[in-house]
Structure 1
Amino acid sequence: MRYVCLGYIAEGNWDSLPEAEGQRMLEECFAYDDELRNGGHFLGGEALDSSRNAVTLRMKNGQVDVTDGPYAETKEVLGGILLLEARDLNHAIALMSKHPGVKMGPFEIRPADEQTNKLIAQRDAAFSNKEN
């Protein structure tokens, strides 16, 4: 099964780390990601830029309203996404419990919606075939 792991971080905590400590934390995360790769569990991921550079879109009175930053007012913001292959949720929890990123903030682990993702993959394939 595929799981989406959403890593949250208090940006102020990250910003206040000495550069060497931040680099060490990144290297620990990269090394563990490599362990996940070696086990066939790492499917991909993306680190996100600061939420200060984000916008939120929502419908307001039939128009798209754009506001700066994330919609939720919280100390912790989404910092990155990791796609994981695991046997089940307990296996995903066991794998992510060892991730050094958990030291910086919580991870939300959510099963991928396999049924909808299958439909998306079919549409992607059909679109690719149109272009060729």
Structure 2
Amino acid sequence: MKYVLFVYGDEKPWADAGAAEREAVYAQWGAYESLLTEHGARRGGNELAASATATTIRKQDGQVLITDGPFAETVEQISGYMVVEAADQAQAVEFAKAQPGEVFLRAVHDYGLDHLAPAEAPPGVRYTLLVYGPGGQETTPEQAAASAQEHYAYIELLLARGAFLDTVALQGLDTAALVRKPGVEVLITHGPFAETVEHLGGYYEIVAKDLDEAIELAKALPEPVVEVRPVVEYSG
């Protein structure tokens, strides 16, 4: 089963870190990626640009509201994510415990869309669209089917624009686990990262020529709240 391990934390220490400190953190992440590769568990992931670069799109009362900044104004923000293959949640938690940062993880729905991902990323700037919606809300089978059709139509739009890279839909909050590392302890609790009305439901990875185009594409997404974040690109 696939799980997404979302990395979160206070962004200030990273912003204030010097070159040597950053190099040490990246070395830790390199070792972690090697560990996942050895287990045949790594399935992808991205580092996200700072939350200050985020744009949030809300659909409310027939209006589309676009604001600068992340979905939630909290000290701890999502800074990236890693997709892993695990036998069960217990193994996913073990992978999360080995990660350099603090993590919350969620199981992924398998809708069989892997074949849609392009073999090579088309040119453009990569963005992640973090999708938020009401958490814990019961849906009927008819509502779930209608939502799925809306998302399939959205994927077709992205494919037609040459903008689609990948997408993940998260399973319910009952699959969430939180791995915190205060000092030398590792604390594991079940439940979401933040106690908010709206919870992360999944994400899309897209390419766009610039932020304006990314926002345009995000506005077409059939969800009430979308946070647009640039992906950190590395060369060499």
TM-score when normalising by structure 1:
0.82
SS for the counterpart of 2:44 is: strand
The answer to whether structure 1 residue 110 and structure 2 residue 106 are counterparts is yes
Match of 1:50 in 2: 50
By how many angstroms is 1:35 displaced?
Answer: 1.4
The residue identity in structure 1 corresponding to 2:104 is E
CA distance in 1, matches of 2:80, 2:45: 7
- CA deviation vs aligned residue, 1:2-55 (integer Å, no higher than 9, x gap): 001110121111112222011111111111111101210111100001111110
The residue identity in structure 2 corresponding to 1:59 is K
SS for the counterpart of 2:40 is: coil
CA distance in 1, matches of 2:52, 2:67: 11
With over 3 angstroms needed to count, the CA separation of the structure-2 counterparts of 1:71 and 1:19, relative to structure 1, is same
- CA deviation vs aligned residue, 1:83-105 (integer Å, no higher than 9, x gap): 001110010101120112x2xxx
Match of 1:96 in 2: 96
Report 1 or 2 for greater relative contact order, CA contacts < 8 Å, sequence distance ≥ 6.
Answer: 1
Aligned-pair RMSD on alpha carbons?
A: 1.8
Match of 2:36 in 1: 36
The equivalences for 1:118-129 within 5 A come to 118=112, 120-121=113-114, 124=116
Match of 1:63 in 2: 63
The answer to whether structure 1 residue 77 and structure 2 residue 77 are counterparts is yes
CA distance in 2, matches of 1:61, 1:4: 32
Equivalenced residues, count: 119
Match of 1:25 in 2: 25
- CA deviation vs aligned residue, 1:81-131 (integer Å, no higher than 9, x gap): 10001110010101120112x2xxx211100012xx22x457x39x78xxx
Larger proportion of helix: 1
Mind listing any 5+ residue stretches in structure 2 that lack a counterpart? Answer: 118-155, 160-236
CA distance in 2, matches of 1:28, 1:36: 13
Match of 2:232 in 1: none
Percent identity of the aligned residues?
32
By how many angstroms is 1:63 displaced?
Answer: 1.9
The residue identity in structure 1 corresponding to 2:26 is L
CA distance in 2, matches of 1:2, 1:121: 12
